[in-house]
Amino acid sequence: MLSLQVVTINPDYKVNICTYQIYTAALIICGAVSLLIALWAGRMNAGRLPKWERLPRNRNIGVILAFLCLLWCVPQAKPIVWEFLLAWLYPLVFAFTVLSFLFLDYLFSRALGGFFILLTYYFVHEAFTFHTPLTALLAVSCWVLGIAGLFFSGKPHLLRDFIRKIAGSARIRYITCFYFVFFGVLCLALGIIHATRS
């Protein structure tokens, strides 16, 4: 069981150490994953396209990500649902996960869009909570992901189309690589800054 100790960031500001460490780790992990995505995008070409353009419709990977996103939604939903529904939130996660696997096309694309939206909200909220340096820059960078998430969730075929554009257009490929390298380096740097705070 994690203890509920506090860590002092400045004399007038105390936070739960567990929440702070999760945020720090999330920044570092997100930074590393973003750099891997940049590498993936940089290597995308017409020869690799047939393999990767099927990813948005992948149910096996999509259902795992969808399940994790639905679990992540539960704490967000608790303050706004009726009291009689509280006990049903986790069973509904399992039910909706099964239903999504059975009936939703482009499941990975939809789940990835939801993940981007949740990640954007989380990083922007925690950045202000923990006084992250360059908060405005991090927020704007996250909003790019959040807006992409809205499109991928609402029109999931757009992720397939985007992968095709990365493979077919050097300009789109370079822009995608630049964004994810920038976002990855920013998250890594901010995560390291937070990790070294006393």
Q: Where are the domains of the chain?
A: 6-196
- pLDDT given for residue 11 in this prediction: 43
- pLDDT given for residue 16 in this prediction: 59
Query: How does DSSP assign 150-180, residue by residue?
Result: HHHHHSTHHHHHHHHHHHH-HHHHHHHHHHH
Q: Are 133 and 190 in contact (CB under 8 A)?
A: yes
Q: Are 84 and 122 in contact (CB under 8 A)?
A: no
- pLDDT given for residue 189 in this prediction: 98
Residue 6 above 60 pLDDT? no
Q: How many Å apart are CA 100 and CA 94, to the nearest integer? A: 10
Q: Are 101 and 5 in contact (CB under 8 A)?
A: no
Residue 113 above 80 pLDDT? yes
Per-residue pLDDT of 25-69, as tens digits, reads 999 999 999 999 999 999 999 999 999 999 999 999 999 999 999
Q: How many Å apart are CA 21 and CA 179, to the nearest integer? A: 26
Per-residue pLDDT of 133-181, as tens digits, reads 999 999 999 999 999 999 999 999 999 999 999 999 999 999 999 999 9
Q: Is 188 or 83 the better-scoring residue by pLDDT?
A: 188
pTM of this prediction exceeds 0.85: yes
Intra-chain end-to-end CA distance of the chain, in Å: 23
Residue 13 above 70 pLDDT? no
Confidence at 197, pLDDT banded by 50, 70, 90: confident
Per-residue pLDDT of 15-26, as tens digits, reads 456 999 999 999
Q: What would the mean pLDDT of 95-118 be, rounded to a whole number?
A: 97
Q: How many Å apart are CA 23 and CA 103, to the nearest integer? A: 34
